[in-house]
Amino acid sequence: MRPVSQRVNAKKTHENNTEFGKSTSELLILKPEGYPLSGMMDEYPVIENRDVFEFYAREQWNGYVARKGDYLFDRRMFPDFAYRIIDVEPAESIIGSSTSIIVTEEENGLPSSAEIKSSVKFEDVIGQELAKQKCRLIERFLEEPERFGKWAPRNILFFGPSGTGKTMLAKALANKTDVPIIPVKATQLIGEYVGDGARQIHQLYDRAEEMAPCIIFIDELDAIALDRKFQELRGDVSEIVNALLTEMDGIVERDGVCTICSTNRIYSLDSAIRSRFEEEIEFVLPGEDEVLQIFESNVKTFPLQVEDVDFHTLAKKTKGLSGRDLVEKVLKTALHQTIIEDREIVTGKDFETALAKLARKDTLQDPSELYV
């Protein structure tokens, strides 16, 4: 008999998928945890075909809201066998028919050897024309890695404010060239014990080499690659940096592997790391025309009608906001407030109110106001 608590948890998970604003999961990383109770006859599942398991898992958990740290229970072939969610992108999103599901034995959530395919297109990244232009070289390398030889663009740095499309462009590049991408947050590479981080770096590149041509995308690089005068405060970060430098230097040949790192604190990076990048590609905040495109393209997907909105005027008031700010803090806030008030139409006033709230938060965070 299944424990009562498990039945309740499953019901709650199903109910959560009715919430507005939940996007479909792009990537779900699971770790097998076993059964809640042990017994003499327990049989543990072995994944022999990852593609078949992925289809099986998507069909079984379709519609579930995936949250990092939660558990998913098998309800069919191995009832009550638990998988813990190590990571999910985007956070708290719904498992759907296009979700990539990977099972790993590692706590850090790095996928074992499965290919991660992207569905993001270049057209999805609004603006950043100079960055897209510079990515053409990487595109050609990934399409014909053998043509470049020792002149391959192996290490690329994306830099610029948060929310300007660095991760999206890396995924779009992988999609355009039809190669796998392994996205990793730099903080995931910091292990619990000395030596863990360096081992994970080398495992990451071993994995990418198996799938070559392949992109390794390391987000928030500054978390491990700060100027060395700060690294002594970060435990084993120095040995992680040394391992990364070894891989980026090509001491071990990794044919067809392209490393793309991103940061919003480029001037805080260690000079030794920064010197390894052959190309630095800047991402900038959107201008008025790009803000207008972001507004118009996103409101088309609203579940409610939008009326009486002058997006041209609105765009003039968004200076300093990134594309993510516009979507998450302006459009989504306006939509959610309309839903809360049981209205069927989102108006210009809703967007103005969302912008005003955002401006007030920025004022409160200004350190110059703290001691007035």
Q: Which residues lie closer than 8 Å to 147 by C-beta, 6 or more apart?
A: 140, 141
Among the CATH numbers 3.90.25.10, 3.40.50.300, 3.40.50.12280, 1.10.287.70, which is that of 122-282? 3.40.50.300
H/E segment holding residue 355: helix 348-364
Stronger pLDDT, 358 or 214, i.e. the higher one: 214
Q: Grade residue 159 by pLDDT with cuts at 50, 70 and 90.
A: very high
- Tokens linked to 167: 């991760």
Is 288-361 a CATH 1.10.8.60 domain?
Answer: yes
pLDDT of residue 160: 93
pLDDT of residue 6: 37
What average pLDDT does the structure give for the chain?
A: 81
Of 114-118, 172-176, 217-221, 297-301, the range with the lowest mean pLDDT is 114-118
pLDDT tens-place string over residues 183-196: 888 887 776 555 66
pLDDT of residue 349: 92
- Stretch 252-265: mean pLDDT, rounded? 87
The 3-state secondary structure of 296-346 reads HHHHCCCCCEEECCCHHHHHCCCCCCCHHHHHHHHHHHHHHHHHHCCCCEE
pLDDT of residue 367: 47
69 burial via Cβ count (<10 Å: 0-12, 13-18, 19+): exposed
- Tokens linked to 80: 């009550």
pLDDT tens-place string over residues 213-244: 889 999 989 888 877 665 554 556 777 888 88
| pLDDT over 50 at 166, yes or no | yes
Distance between CA atoms of residues 331 and 81, nearest Å? 40
Of 118-132, 156-170, 326-340, the range with the lowest mean pLDDT is 118-132
* Amino acid identity at 239: E
Same fold: 122-282 with 288-361: no
Q: Looking at residue 35, what DSSP letter applies?
A: -
Q: What is the CATH number of domain 27-103?
A: 3.10.330.10
Q: What is the pTM of this model?
A: 0.66
Pairing of strands 27-34, 100-103: parallel
pLDDT tens-place string over residues 87-124: 888 888 999 988 888 887 655 555 443 446 678 888 88
Q: Give the residue extent of every domain in the chain.
A: 27-103, 122-282, 288-361
pLDDT of residue 254: 81
Distance between CA atoms of residues 217 and 157, nearest Å? 10
pLDDT tens-place string over residues 128-155: 999 999 898 888 888 888 888 778 888 9
| pLDDT over 50 at 2, yes or no | no
H/E segment holding residue 307: strand 305-307
Residues 196 and 240: beta-carbon distance below 8 Å: no
pLDDT tens-place string over residues 58-97: 999 999 999 999 999 998 888 888 999 988 888 889 999 8
| pLDDT over 70 at 35, yes or no | yes
* Amino acid identity at 335: L
